[in-house]
Chains A and B, each alone.
Chain A
Amino acid sequence: MKIELQVNGETRVVEASPIARLLDVLREEIHLTGTKEGCGEGECGACTILIDGEPVNSCLVPVAQVQGCELTTIEGLAASCGYAEAGATPLQTAIVEWGGTQCGICTPGIAVCAQALLRDEPAPSRARIREALAGNLCRCTGYQLIVDAVAAAAEGGQS
Chain B
Amino acid sequence: MLGLSKSDIRIFLLVVVLTIFAPFILNPFPEASGLAQFNAGYPDLMQRFVIFGIFAIGFNILFGLTGYLSFGHAAFLGVGSYAAIWMMKLLTMNVIPGIIMSVLIAGIFAVAVGYISLKRTGIYFSILTLAFAQMSFALAYSVLTPITGGETGLQPKISDPRMLDAALASGEAPRANLFGLEMGTSYELALSGWVFTFNVGYYVAAIVMIIALYIAIRIFRSPFGVMLRAVKSNQQRMRYTGLNPKPYTLAAFVISGMYAGLAGGLMVAMDTQVGPERMFWTASGEVVLMTILGGTGTIVGPILGAGLIKYMENILSKINADILYEWFAMLPDSIADILVFVIYPFIGKGWHLTLGIIFMCVVIFLPGGLVEGGQRIGNMFGRKKKTEGEKSSQPAE
Chains A and B form a bound pair:
no
Seen from chain B, the residues whose Cβ lies within 8 Å of a Cβ on chain A are none
Seen from chain A, the residues whose Cβ lies within 8 Å of a Cβ on chain B are none
